[in-house]
Each structure stands twice: as structure tokens, then as C-alpha cells.
Structure 1
Amino acid sequence: MTTLTIQDVSRQSGLSEPTLRYYEEAGLLGPIARDARSGHRRYNDSDLDAAQVLACLRAMGVGIEDMRTYQANRRRGHDAAGEQRDILLRHADRVEAQIATLRVHLEYLRVKAALWDARDRGDVAAEAESHIELESILPRLEETFR
């Protein structure tokens, strides 16, 4: 069995050392074995795998409670498949809503840039078109702030 230091796991998972310690304290990771002489954490392959899963969940914006449930369900295996699916789909819906919001923001930024480009070029017609486009975007943009 491979024994890894906290530095090794941090490097391989992308999680900082303080985050790894926090995840252990929060019950998301471990318990992690300790070196008998130094007391330093010693991670095994399974701990690294769990840390990598947590890093992925974290990158997707999954909160601590859902991470805790997800990790517990991983240990339960097939019996928890439905709950795992539901957790992931709930977060997929949240990400999809964020993408829709970002698309509106991107559209606004591009039209606004086109407006300023038209002004820079002195193109009154293009500037007027940009204003019309902005008017159509504004209600959707305002929705993203609620």
C-alpha cells in the first residue's frame, strides 16, 4: 500500500494542505493514519481517491453537506446510487442555471462593446442598432440579478 504525505496528496488532488486538514476535521476525509514517530498524516491510495473526488465536487461548487452525503454514499455503494444521482443532478441544474446567467452576461458585454466600438468609429447606425439590442437584453439581464 502506498503511503503519501499531505504534500503529496495536496499536489495530486489540487486541494491545499489546510483544506485537506479541514476536510478531515469535517469528516469528509479519513480518518487519516498518523506516523507513529512524527505524528504526521500518512495518506493511502483510498484517501487520495477520496481527496480527488472532493476536489472535483468542490470545483463544481458542491457544498460541504452534499460532499459529506456523497462520500457516505460512496461507501454504501449500489444501495445509494439513486441518492448519488439526485445529488449530481441537483448540482447539474444549478450549474445549468449559472451557465444561462453567464450567457446573458456575455451577450450584454458583447453588445455593449459593439456599442462602444460603433461610437469609436463614429458609426451612428451601428450605435443605434446596439441600443436596440441592449433594450432587448436588459429584461433578461435584470432577471440575473434577482
Structure 2
Amino acid sequence: MTVTEVPAGGVTISAAAELSGLSVDTLRYYEKEGLSLHRPERSASGQRRYTEEDVRWLGTLVMLRRTGMPIRDIRRFVDLYRIEGSEPQRLAILEAHREHVLEELNEVQTHLDAINRKINHYKEMVNE
């Protein structure tokens, strides 16, 4: 199932976890911490039901976390997302995060260059 295949009635927390690549415990934690756009609806039996919008939002959370955005910054972004007209503040958060990611990327590239130099050095030694 892909995000676009989420049925109108939503999916269970297990299916949402699978679709997002997160654990069920992480989804519960994100909900408790207010990182969801809204609390998932509940079925008649009390199960959480995640809509297509919910699952897409989880994809955004995954991207922000995997690029190293701290939970406190994500929380601020989510809080602003709920406020109409807060686009300039959200943009500022994302631009600041991009700068952080670019700095990290540059550092990793520097380390990769050093590894490649070492590999080339050892290849030369092995081939002599």
C-alpha cells in the first residue's frame, strides 16, 4: 500500500507505521508530543485511524528527523503550521535547518574526500 492508496476510512496505526517507516511506539510518541497535525480519528472500536493527510505528514516528520532537525524545532514548526499566516516563520525554520544540513553535508563530503585519498593511496601500494 502506498500513501495514495490510503482508504477513505484511514488505516490502522500498524499500517501507518509501515507506510511511514516508523514504529508504532514512535507514532504514539509523536502524537503525545503534539507533532501530529491533529490527533488521529478513532474507529468505533477505539483504534486510531490515520488518513492520507496524516500519513503524508508523517513523511514530513520522517524527513525532518532524518535530516537532524531536533524535536523542539519540529514542534515549533508544527505549532506554526496550525496557524494561518505563519508561512514566513515556517520558511525561516526550514531555511535555518537547510543551512545546518548543508554544513553537515559539507563536513561529510570533506571526510569522504579524505577516505577516497586513503583508498587511492592503498590501491597504489597494493598495485606496486
* Structure 2 residue aligned with 1:84: 90
Q: 1, 4, 16: which one pairs with 1:9?
A: 16
Question: How big is the alpha-carbon RMSD for the aligned residues of Structure 1 and Structure 2?
Answer: 1.7
Counterpart code for 1:48: V
TM-score, L = length of structure 1:
0.73
Question: Please, what TM-score do these two structures have when normalized by structure 2?
Answer: 0.81
Matches within 5 A, 1:1-146: 1-29=8-36, 30-37=38-45, 39-77=46-84, 79-122=85-128
| Superposition deviation, residue 93 in structure 1 | 0.7
- Which protein has the bigger helix share? 1
- 5+ unaligned residues in a row in structure 2: which ranges? 1-7
Q: Shift of residue 28 of structure 1? A: 0.9
Report the alpha carbon displacement of residue 32 of structure 1 after superposing the two structures with TM. 2.4
Greater RCO (CA < 8 Å, at least 6 residues apart): 2
> Which structure would you say has the larger Rg?
1
The change in CA–CA distance for 1:97 and 1:35 in structure 2 (over 3 A counts) is same
Q: Within 2, Cα distance between the matches of 1:80 and 1:45?
A: 23
How high is the sequence identity, in percent, across the aligned residues? 30
Kept in 2: contact 1:2–1:45 (CA 8 A): no
**Helix, strand or coil at the partner of 1:61:** coil
Q: Which amino acid aligns with 1:13?
A: S
Stretches of structure 1 lacking an aligned partner (at least 5 in a row): 123-146
> How far apart, CA to CA, are the structure 2 residues paired with 1:6 and 1:94?
32
